[in-house]
Structure 1
């Protein structure tokens, strides 16, 4: 059986290759690619039976693989390798597509390969991938992905008090009192949540959840007191717009 590992992280590819070569003798040929475009080229040229596919990669997500096989038969099985947490795992289960959580567990990998090898002759992978995409879209409707050191944490919009700029990073203040430091700029989250009326940017350094405002005070200029007692300044140029929103919404 031939297989390919598609993952932008060299270390992740090396670890998975080592496990496969030591534990999975049924895989005789193993290719590698560091992005989806190169991976698809190898798939079309070499026709592997099994694809180990990371989801979070630069330029193209692993979920976009269908875009490269629109009018072609997909005759290989996919096992997603992912750092996603609990919520995303439900998306995999509902779509009946196999996944391996990073760090990879040898026993789970063997089971996934065995399952895939029995399904290689089936031709339902496109339907499963479409279902998986829809599940992730549904997941994204009410949750936001936060790339934390141990992986990716999905957090409900309802659980976010506010975002605070910290240089090239963003502090995400949560309802449970915890704060996550994310390696994304505030602009990233502002654009991502631009169509969510719950969130408003009253100042260049803050994006707040209007649901968790406790008080508006004129002390030291106009400020919002959030439910955790944090004072958020309202920029002078945003004052009129902000008060209009308050009068309209509340």
Structure 2
């Protein structure tokens, strides 16, 4: 059996490769790729039976693999490797796509590889991947994915007080008092939530949830005071727009 491992972390690739060699029978060759694009090129060239695919990678999520096989048959089995929190794993179960959790357990690895061998004759892996994509879309309704180290947190809109730009990163301040630093720009979240009327950008460095405004201060300028007592500035060029928005929504 020919195997390809696609994971951006070299240590994770080495651990999986070692386990496959030492603990799994029938694995003849193991190739590696550090990102999805490189991995897809290997897949098309080497025609593996099984691909171990990391879900969370910086450039492209493993879930985007179908984008590289449009109008092509996906005839290899995929086993996702993931550090997703348990809550998100329901999407994998609903789609009948196999996965193993990080850190990888030997028994889980052996069972996943055995199922992959049994399913090699199936030609519906593309359909399963589409079902997985739909399951994640359903999961994301009224939720937003916050990618933090080693996992992805799915937070509902009602859990988010505001987003704060921090250079090329974004701090997400949550209702429970916690903050998460996300490796994405504020623009990423502004674009993602542009159709959600409860989120408003009063300043280039902030995107707030209007549900958690406590008051608006007109002392020495115009400021928003959030439920957690944090003061958010309103840019001068957005003052009129903000006041009009407040009048339309709240009065």
| TM-score tier (shorter) | over 0.9
Do residues 242 (structure 1) and 242 (structure 2) align? yes
Q: Match of 1:131, SS? A: helix
Aligned to 2:121: 121
Q: Match of 1:141, SS? A: coil
Alignment of 1:202-241 (within 5 A): 202-241=202-241
Q: Distance in 2 between matches of 1:83 and 1:61?
A: 13
Aligned to 2:54: 54
Do residues 19 (structure 1) and 23 (structure 2) align? no
Q: Match of 1:221, SS? A: coil
Q: Distance in 2 between matches of 1:80 and 1:153?
A: 18
- Cα displacement (A) at 1:84: 2.1
Aligned to 1:78: 78
Q: Match of 2:229, SS? A: coil
Q: Distance in 1 between matches of 2:174 and 2:141?
A: 18
Q: Match of 2:219, SS? A: coil
Q: Distance in 2 between matches of 1:192 and 1:73?
A: 31
Contact kept, 8 Å, 1:201 with 1:208, in 2: the verdict is yes
Alignment of 1:152-163 (within 5 A): 152-163=152-163
Deviations 1:106-132 (CA, angstroms, capped at 9, x unpaired): 221111111111111112211111101
Give TM-score, length-normalised by structure 1: 0.92
Contact kept, 8 Å, 1:85 with 1:154, in 2: the verdict is no
Q: Distance in 1 between matches of 2:204 and 2:228?
A: 20
Q: CA RMSD in A?
A: 1.7
Q: Which moved more, 1:126-135 or 1:20-29?
A: 20-29
Aligned to 1:201: 201
Q: Distance in 2 between matches of 1:28 and 1:132?
A: 29
- Cα displacement (A) at 1:181: 2.0
Structure 1 unmatched runs, 5+: none
Contact kept, 8 Å, 1:5 with 1:31, in 2: the verdict is yes
Aligned to 2:41: 41
Q: Distance in 2 between matches of 1:60 and 1:168?
A: 18
- Cα displacement (A) at 1:77: 0.8
- Cα displacement (A) at 1:168: 3.1
Q: Distance in 2 between matches of 1:68 and 1:32?
A: 18
Deviations 1:6-63 (CA, angstroms, capped at 9, x unpaired): 1222222112111211211221211112222332232233221111012233443322
Aligned to 2:9: 9
Aligned to 1:135: 135
Aligned to 2:180: 180
Structure 2 unmatched runs, 5+: none
Residues 149, 46 of structure 1: CA spacing in aligned structure 2 closer, same or farther, 3 A cutoff? closer
Contact kept, 8 Å, 1:165 with 1:171, in 2: the verdict is yes
Residues 40, 205 of structure 1: CA spacing in aligned structure 2 closer, same or farther, 3 A cutoff? closer
Matched length: 250
